Structure 1
Amino acid sequence: MEQAGYHNAHAAFARQVNLHGRQTHGLTLRYDAASVYWWLRGRRPDSPAPQLIAEVLARRLGRQLIAVDLGFQHAEDLSGLGLTFDSDLDDARSTVTELWRRQRLRHEFLATAPFVAAATTQAGWRWHFDPRDANVSHRGTRQVTEADVETLRAYEQQFLELDRRHGGGHSRDLLIGWLVRDVQPLLNGAYSDRIGRQLFAAVAELTGQVAYMSYDVGEHGLAQRHFIQALRLAKAGDHSGFGAHILANLSTQAVYLQQPAEAVRLSRAAVDGGRGKAGSGIMARLYAAEACAHAIAADPRSCTAALRNAERAASRASDGDHPAWAGYFTPAHLAGAAVRCFRDLGRTNEALSFADQALDLGRSSIRTRALHTALIASVHASGSAADPEQACHLGRQALDLAGGVTSRRVADRIADLAQRMKRFGGNPAIDSFLHRAATAVSPA
């Protein structure tokens, strides 16, 4: 208080807290000089006042603060933050904005938070079976319009492009800062039920993008928390196709974490949730996720059936079936899923039959090209008819591509390739690749 110049201006400080609460949360607060008197003597105001007080002081001091810094409370237990699919929409708004804010402050726990499988299962169940939100309108200071929602979607397209070109670690902090600064006031603004559903759908997509970026850089607990909140916002926005897409992303994350049973459950929930509600292009992506889940579960029959369903859905897709958040999923991505599936099933010849198509990617898909190149190389390094020279050639290409992206998934896929290549050591070219891979990426 002294550093901020409020030592002898308690009433002025209380007015700033009231104003900040009205502008950012649509709250009507009536704190006064007496309130500040008691705060300074240890009384803790109700939430979100500690956060508002910290933000008012932080703005004045030019540095970041949280409620713990002000002595209101001991270090908080954040282990459950973001893991719940809140029934009450006000709680959901508070949860997602608090998750953004904590991530912006780089809270150490969130970067290392564990993946909690039970929380994902519960969120998927709630998304399917909870009743529709009857009314999502909100009273606040700032009036939210369709133009505001269109602005969010324009920004979303920019962040999607940056992510696909440079990897999740490139612009995630920029996205989080923008969500806290510009999107949180919209969520807490004034809007009708119709505009509110559009707003929640758009913010669900942006939150899902944060989740995918976090997954891409290997922060799986944080990614899971954002995926769950994106699912809740999609529910409020009547955004069924995107909700199914989020479940498929959670399945893909479970595949990455080698949790086959969880991956299968989530992928089936995604397909069930999208059927009859999502376009053919989105259904192709959902079936592809299901195929990958069945592959790591060692279920070839279900895997090949899901791939056939994906191919049929893709053949029926039109341009209108690919919204911005699903626009990445092309025939090359479906082919990449087939390569992955048949490799995991030990059917290398079938995997390689999709290799050329899996590399038929647009120029901006740098991360996917790196992932697919390393994946195809791993097929050449597998089985009794392995081709280590081709695996080495593709491995060098993957390393070249990896230098342009910030992605834990790319690094791990190259590390996996290097592990498979070790049995061919003794060849100068292969030894050179292994040395380069060891210095370029961390071990898987």
Structure 2
Amino acid sequence: MRVGSRIGSSDIKSIHAITDMFRDADNRHGGILSRKAVIAQMADANALLSSAAYDETTGRALFSAVADLGSVAGWMTFDAGMHKQAQRIFITALHAASEAGDKALGAHILQCMARQMSHLGHYDEALDLVSLAQYGARRHATPATRSMLSALESRFHAILGQVNESERAAGAAEELFAAVDPRQEPAHMAFFDEAELSATIGIAHQISAKNDYSPGRARRAERSLQLLGRALELRPEHRVRSKAFDHLGLARTHLTVGEVTGAREETQTALALFEVVGSARVGDRLAELHDEAEPYASAPEAAELREQIMTVVAG
């Protein structure tokens, strides 16, 4: 027992409520706008860990709540493009999840870290983190967690050119998702719905198509378009940043098969969403799209696409 004011279930519920609020703000507005506020809340929550009195059961619940808040703080910091700070927050949150004995939440934090490593171009490390999450939570992960990790595995295998492994993992993700019951999933897994599954696997097919110079490229691209289109159909209205990524994914898939008109149309929608969501990650993806369109720059539509990206992102 620690010296200090006693903490109870109402305090832990308050931390969860604050976490839900910031998670919603992140989905709607991106990480830049509310990052400082969530960091301040994280500092207050950590102060409770060091000063409050609690028994073992309450302590575990408290550490788990703080870890979940930390996962949101780390994610928003990552989304704001502050990568070193985000890594430190993720590690702190992972330690809290370990203290709580919450292996499922630990797996969630590891997948956040894996996405950051992929964003930074460290693809082998991203795949290693997914494998670590899968192993660590093998007896505790919910169906949604297992499906999500397999979907990410598919995406990272595709990036590394391991097409067969990517397709195997995608199939596993779809099979695992069939067992998901949203009512039985923790709050931190609410984001992984059918839309997110479709988007993640759709991007894996897009990447495989980009690296495929056989007649199979068109088939992979078509599957990517189907899945990303399905993701957009299913996205809740408040998932604004996710919609921007979906449209960017569609634009990049169109470019993969030389469909410049489709790429331009999807890019224009993504740019409109970028202007209302504060996300450095979306800006980075737009910059990548700008570079990918360079081989088509002689076409007026591609030149317009690149100019629009430069105007909005630089502005």
Residue type of the alignment partner of 1:224: Q
Describe the superposition over 1:270-308 as per-residue Cα deviations: whole angstroms up to 9, x where unpaired.
112222201111211111121122111211122111111
Which residue of the other structure, out of 376, 380, 383, is the alignment partner of 2:250?
376
Aligned: 1:169 with 2:43: no
Write the deviation string for residues 61-112 of structure 1: whole angstroms up to 9, x where unpaired.
xxxxxxxxxxxxxxxxxxxxxxxxxxxxxxxxxxxxxxxxxxxxxxxxxxxx
Following the alignment from structure 2 to structure 1, what is the Cα–Cα distance between the partners of residues 75 and 45? 18
How has the CA–CA distance of structure 1 residues 329 and 199 changed in structure 2, closer, same or farther, with 3 Å as cutoff?
same
Alpha-carbon displacement from aligned partner over 1:15-56 (angstroms, at most 9, x marks no partner): xxxxxxxxxxxxxxxxxxxxxxxxxxxxxxxxxxxxxxxxxx
Deviations 1:109-138 (A, max 9, x none): xxxxxxxxxxxxxxxxxxxxxxxxxxxxx4
CA contact (8 A) 2:46 2:66 kept: no
CA contact (8 A) 1:291 1:302 kept: yes
> Structure 2 counterpart of 1:261, which letter?
D
TM-aligned CA distance change 1:397 to 1:301, over 3 Å: same
CA distance in 2, matches of 1:150, 1:422: 51
Amino acid at match of 1:424: Y
Task: Give the whole-Å Cα distance in 1 for the aligned partners of 2:306 and 2:242.
Answer: 22
Counterpart of 2:304 (choices 424, 432, 436) is 432
**Contact 2:228 2:249 (C-alpha < 8 Å) held by counterparts:** no
3-state SS of paired residue (1:354): helix
Deviation at 1:430, TM superposition (A): 3.6
Aligned match of 2:60 in 185, 197, 202?
A: 197
Name the counterpart of 1:274.
Answer: 137
Aligned counterparts of 1:392 and 1:333: Cα–Cα separation in 2: 23
Aligned with 1:160 (options 3, 15, 23): 23
Map Cα deviations across residues 350-382 of structure 1 (whole Å, 9 max, x no partner).
322312112120000000000111111011011
Which of 175, 186, 202 in structure 2 is aligned with 1:312?
A: 175
Q: Do the aligned partners of 1:142 and 1:186 also contact (CA within 8 Å) in 2?
A: no
1:386 Cα deviation (Å)? 1.7
Q: Considering only CA atoms, is the larger Rg found in Structure 1 or Structure 2? A: 1
Pick aligned residue for 1:401 from 252, 260, 273 = 273
Between the aligned partners of 1:282 and 1:340, the Cα distance in structure 2 is 19
Q: 1:293 — aligned with what?
A: 156
- Structure 1 residue 245: Cα displacement: 1.1
Within 1, Cα distance between the matches of 2:42 and 2:126? 30
What is the aligned residue count? 303
AA in 2 matched with 1:393: E
Alignment identity in percent?
29
- After TM superposition, give the deviation of residue 442 of structure 1 in Å: 4.6
- Map 1:293-372 → 2, pairs under 5 A: 293-346=156-209, 347-360=220-233, 361-372=235-246
Name the CA distance, whole Å, in 2 between partners of 1:150 and 1:343: 41
Which residue of structure 2 aligns with residue 184 of structure 1?
Answer: 46
Q: Which amino acid aligns with 1:162?
A: A
User: How far 1:217 sits from its partner (Å)?
Assistant: 1.5
Counterpart-to-counterpart distance in 2, 1:227 and 1:146: 25
**RMSD of the TM alignment (CA)?**
1.6
> 1:240 aligns to what?
103
How far off is 1:178 after superposition? Answer: 2.4
Query: In 2, Cα distance between the equivalents of 1:414 and 1:184?
Result: 36
| Equivalences for residues 127-142 of structure 1 within 5 A | 138-142=1-5
Report the Cα offset of residue 428 of structure 1. Answer: 4.1
Alpha-carbon distance change, 271 to 165 in structure 1, aligned in 2, over 3 angstroms: same
The residue type paired with residue 354 of structure 1 is L
How much has 1:215 moved relative to structure 2? 1.3
2:85 counterpart of 1:213: no
Q: Does the aligned pair in 1 maintain the 2:260–2:301 contact within 8 Å?
A: no
The Cα shift of 1:149 comes to 0.2
2:291 maps to amino acid: Q
Letter of the 2:303 partner, please give it. D
Contact 1:214 1:222 in 2 (8 A): yes
Tell me the TM-score normalized by structure 1: 0.66
Larger deviation, residues 184-193 vs 197-206:
184-193
- Residue 259 of structure 1 aligns with which residue? 122
2: CA distance, partners of 1:345 / 1:428: 27
Q: Which has the higher contact order (CA 8 A, sep 6+)?
A: 2
Q: Distance in 2 between matches of 1:297 and 1:432?
A: 31
Q: Which runs of 5+ in 2 are unaligned?
A: 210-219
Which amino acid letter does the alignment assign opposite residue 374 of structure 1? L
